[in-house]
Structure 1
Amino acid sequence: MLSFKLLRSVILFLFLSASLSSCFSRYIISAKEVRRHYAEKKVKPKEIFIRNDTLSLSLASMGADTLPMLLLIHGAPGSLWGYMNLMDDEDLQKHFHIVSVDRVGYGKSRLKKRRYVTSIETQANALLPVFSLNKSDQKVIVLGRSYGAPIAAKLASMAPEQVKELIMVSPVIDPETERFFWFSKWGRMSFVQLFLPRAFNAATAEKYSHADELRKLLPVWEKIHVPTTVIQGGNDWIADPSNIDFAKKHIKSKRAQYIFLYNAGHMITFSHAAMIKEMLLKSRLFQDKITAIGVDLKGGEIGN
């Protein structure tokens, strides 16, 4: 009987480890996959490190550093390579210095003596040195996806004089709609974590502190006055679609717009990459008379 219970436990553990790894494998890109991806490409990203006594920040950039900077912030789990489709776009390369960054706790980015960093403020503060790479005479466009969205917002509030525009895609910003999944509790087990990717463990640590961190962020929303866009999918299984309603209620910027894509899922930067590209290139999102608009999947306005 003991051996049967042991065997059952081992099988259950292996199943859980495999399930947890596969659930978010699409969000984690290995170094081998990156090398294979760029092996035959003429234009390759430049890898950069920003280091000081406490911080080591890993970045990849495309385009001349004298062009306006487009800063990309990933979610959880994730990495800077999660934006390869935007980084590889030839038109964006011609118009932007595209900088994608590993948040601290992910990839090669570290804070001294910190395994994981669950604080939104600390995450944003670690990204401030990235602005020093902006060699253009224009402010930075900051785009954050999923868990990267509130970090992007905090960053914009910390350095409004350096931010031209804030774009939040599939944002997880409402502390009352934080979603937990069947595998969430298993991912907290130390023994299970030994067999999971580091990025997944970092994401789990963030998951269980995220609601509290978002509550700390509540006073920040009304301080954001840079042009802001929120893009949300109606079929998003990670970020509750009602996050866009939270944004409408709390963001006080008079230059804000809200785009709701009824049939879109969580990975809008892939499924609607052409739309995001057009938004970036045309730079026509904000007009003095616009306060807030909603756009459906076909691009029609549906009211405030």
Structure 2
Amino acid sequence: MSNFRFLRSAVVVIFLSATLSSCFSKYIISAKQVRKHYASKDVRPETKLIQNDTLALQVASVGADTLPMLLLIHGAPGSLWGYMNLMDDAELQKKYHIVSVDRIGYGKSRLKKRKYVTSIELQARALLPVFSLNKSEEKVVVLGRSYGAPIAAKLVSMIPEEVKELIMVSPVIDPEKEKFYWFSKWGRNSFVQLFLPGEFNTATAEKYSHADELRKLLPVWQNLDVRTTVIQGGNDWIADPANFEFAKRHIKSKKAQYIFLFNAGHMITYTHADMIREMLLRSRLFQDKIAVQLDY
């Protein structure tokens, strides 16, 4: 009987591990996939590890460092390589010093003596050394996607004088709309976690503290005074569209604009890459439309 229970438990663990890994595998890009992607390309981003006594932060950058910086912050789980389509864009490379960063707990980015960093403030503060990579003395455009959006907002609130614009895509910012799924509780099981990618375990730790962290962020929205764009999809199964209404209620700045894409899902930086690209190239493509709803 004990052998049967052990076998049954093993099967359950293997099934859960395989299921959980496959659910979010598209958000984690392997080194092999990166090599294959850039094998035939003339330009590949330069990777660098920023290190000090407490921090290791991996970044990839492309474009001259004398151009204004475009800082890209991924979600959970995620990777700096999740922005390859933007980093690969030849026109964006001419206009920006594009820097994509692995957040703490992802890739090679670590805060020493901490397994996970669930604090939005600490995640944002860890990104401050990235600004020293740029030599342009121009203000920075910060783009954060999904769980990266509130971290981007907190970062901007720390150094508003150095930021030109904040763009939040598919933001997860409403503390009352944190989504949990059937597999969420299994992702917290310490035995199951042994068989899961480290990035998935980091994302799980973030998820279960995210609502509390977002409540701490409430004063940031009221005091945000940089040009801000919020982009949300109507068919987003990860970031509840209610996050869009939350942004409109809580961001008090008159410099904010809101774009709602009725038929879009979560991965807007891919499905609507041309729109994002045009916004970045033209700088505020929708500047005369404070609230926009697009039917695509």
Q: Give CA-to-partner distance per residue, 1:221-258, whole Å, 9 cap, x none.
A: 11111000000001101000110000000001111111
- Equivalence for 2:235: 235
TM-score (norm 2): 0.97
- Structure 1 residue 291: deviation in Å? 8.0
One-letter code aligned to 2:228: T
Is 2:165 the partner of 1:165?
A: yes
Task: Measure, in 2, the Cα distance between the counterparts of 1:67 and 1:58.
Answer: 20
- Structure 1 residue 211: deviation in Å? 0.2
Name the Cα RMSD after superposition.
1.2
What SS is found at the alignment partner of 2:138? coil
Contact 2:278/2:285 (<8 A) preserved: no
One-letter code aligned to 1:86: L
For structure 2, the residue ranges without an aligned partner over 5 or more in a row are none
One-letter code aligned to 1:63: G
- Equivalence for 1:9: 9
What SS is found at the alignment partner of 1:295? strand
Task: Count residues in correspondence.
Answer: 296
- Equivalence for 1:92: 92
Task: Measure, in 1, the Cα distance between the counterparts of 2:290 and 2:19.
Answer: 41
- Equivalence for 1:110: 110
TM-score (norm 1): 0.95
Task: Measure, in 2, the Cα distance between the counterparts of 1:106 and 1:51.
Answer: 15
What SS is found at the alignment partner of 1:143? strand
For structure 1, the residue ranges without an aligned partner over 5 or more in a row are 299-304
Contact 1:131/1:162 (<8 A) preserved: no
- Equivalence for 2:291: 293
Give matches, 1:75-154, under 5 Å. 75-154=75-154
- Structure 1 residue 179: deviation in Å? 0.1
- Equivalence for 2:48: 48
One-letter code aligned to 1:256: A
Task: Measure, in 1, the Cα distance between the counterparts of 2:187 and 2:194.
Answer: 10
Q: Give CA-to-partner distance per residue, 1:196-217, whole Å, 9 cap, x none.
A: 0000000000000000000000
- Structure 1 residue 138: deviation in Å? 1.6
One-letter code aligned to 2:76: A
- Equivalence for 1:216: 216
Contact 1:256/1:291 (<8 A) preserved: no
- Structure 1 residue 167: deviation in Å? 0.2
Q: Give CA-to-partner distance per residue, 1:73-114, whole Å, 9 cap, x none.
A: 000000100000110011111111100000011101111101
Share of identical aligned residues, percent? 76
Contact 1:123/1:151 (<8 A) preserved: yes
